[in-house]
């Protein structure tokens, strides 16, 4: 079986303008002179009303817009009808898909990973938190077995390299680590989040915030090597849509970047890593001070035992 990459947003727009829109205008008995569907309307349909690798649902939504336009023509619209973003929402209703965007500010323990799905690429946030405990690791967010193993490998690498990273072994032994992937109703699996998991874990233990304009994908082994992954084109396109500026890929995936459109590559700083250290050096900022401990709640006062002034009135 031959796997084919999905269309990019630019490719979908070209297909819509040159093929799908003329077809649907003709099938609904309207002309370009009567109805002008602007590029921003088509882009809105692509990003906010469909989520697919192909264009089948895109054509259906264009057909729905054309039906609405045909009704207005039949009702005797005196001037040519122009359909932009607002008119598209009026005809199709509320957005069905809201694209994830990169986190707005650097944050300790939170990183943007990249995922492949049957309908294309997507960004994936990874959250980690460290708190007093007994050295236990908690994994939540519907992780599959392979992803859980990647998380364990990330933690093991961090522990083995604690001295180099400036992490106190006592802190590791006396802390619990919680790794969570939001959107807990969606199952997630695969090894490609390994490097991102490692960076997030190191960030939490060192209190170094992760740059919010960086996204990382790549498998990790116990030696800290960044191993190749699949779905590179889809993942990089997802990073571009989300406003990411720097994308880290394993060095052995460099050949896969040839498939990415030039206009996307021009907007991104794509870097290649051999080791997780390559990503750590760029993704992490300067350490932040630990938060002030919460004030202790004073214990309730002990009941008095017949002190001065404690006698009941006679």
How many other CB atoms are there within 10 angstroms of residue 248's CB atom?
Answer: 25
Q: Does residue 127 contact residue 143 with C-beta atoms inside 8 Å? A: no
**C-alpha span between 30 and 44 (Å, rounded):** 21
C-alpha 23/C-alpha 62 separation (Å) is: 10
- Judge contact between 145 and 189, C-beta under 8 A: yes
Q: Looking up tokens 């802190």, which residue turns up?
A: 171
* Torsions phi, psi for 202 (to 5 deg): -60, -40
Helix axes 194-206, 145-160, angle to 10 degrees: 40
Residues annotated as part of the active site: 192, 235
Of the candidates 136, 104, 100, 132, the one whose C-alpha atom is nearest the C-alpha of residue 210 is: 104
Partnered with residue 82 across adjacent β-strands are 36
Cβ burial 86-123 (10 Å sphere, 16+ → b, else e): ebbeebbeeeeeeebebbeebbbbbbbbbbbbeebbbb
- Structure tokens that stand for 147 in this block: 């992803």
In this structure, the strands spanning 214-216 and 110-117 are parallel
How far is residue 242's CA from residue 100's CA, in Å, rounded to a whole number? 6
What is the spatial distance between Cα 206 and Cα 204, in angstroms, rounded to a whole number? 6
Pairing of strands 35-37, 81-83: parallel
Residues 222, 156: contact at Cβ < 8 Å? yes
């Amino acid at each position: 079986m031959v796997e084919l990459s999905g269309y990019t947003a630019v490719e979908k727009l070209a297909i819509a303008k040159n093929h799908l829109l003329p077809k649907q205008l003709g099938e609904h008995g309207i002309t370009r002179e009567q109805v002008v569907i602007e590029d921003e309307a088509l882009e809105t349909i692509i990003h906010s009303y469909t989520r697919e690798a192909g264009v089948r649902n895109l054509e259906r939504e264009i057909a729905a817009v054309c039906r609405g336009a045909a009704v207005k023509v039949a009702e005797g619209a005196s001037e040519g009808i122009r359909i932009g973003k607002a008119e598209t929402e009026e005809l199709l209703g509320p957005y069905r898909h809201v694209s994830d965007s990169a986190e707005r500010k650097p944050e300790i323990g939170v990183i943007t990973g990249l995922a492949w799905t049957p309908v294309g690429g997507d960004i994936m946030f990874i959250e980690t938190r460290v708190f007093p405990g007994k050295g236990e690791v908690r994994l939540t967010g519907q992780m599959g077995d392979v992803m859980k193993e990647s998380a364990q490998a990330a933690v093991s690498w961090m522990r083995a390299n604690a001295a180099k990273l400036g992490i106190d072994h006592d802190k590791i032994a006396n802390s619990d680590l919680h790794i969570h992937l939001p959107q807990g109703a969606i199952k997630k699996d695969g090894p490609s989040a390994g490097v991102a998991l490692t960076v997030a874990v190191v960030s939490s233990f060192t209190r170094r915030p992760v740059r919010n304009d960086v996204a990382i994908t790549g498998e990790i082994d116990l030696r800290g090597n960044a191993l190749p992954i699949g779905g590179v084109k889809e993942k990089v396109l997802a990073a571009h849509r989300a406003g990411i500026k720097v994308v880290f890929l394993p060095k052995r995936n460099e050949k896969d970047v040839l498939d990415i459109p030039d206009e996307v590559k021009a907007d991104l700083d794509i870097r290649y890593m051999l080791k997780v250290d390559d990503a750590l050096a760029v993704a992490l900022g300067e350490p932040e001070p630990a938060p002030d401990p919460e004030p202790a709640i004073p214990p309730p006062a002990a009941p008095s035992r017949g002190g001065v002034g404690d006698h009941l009135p006679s």
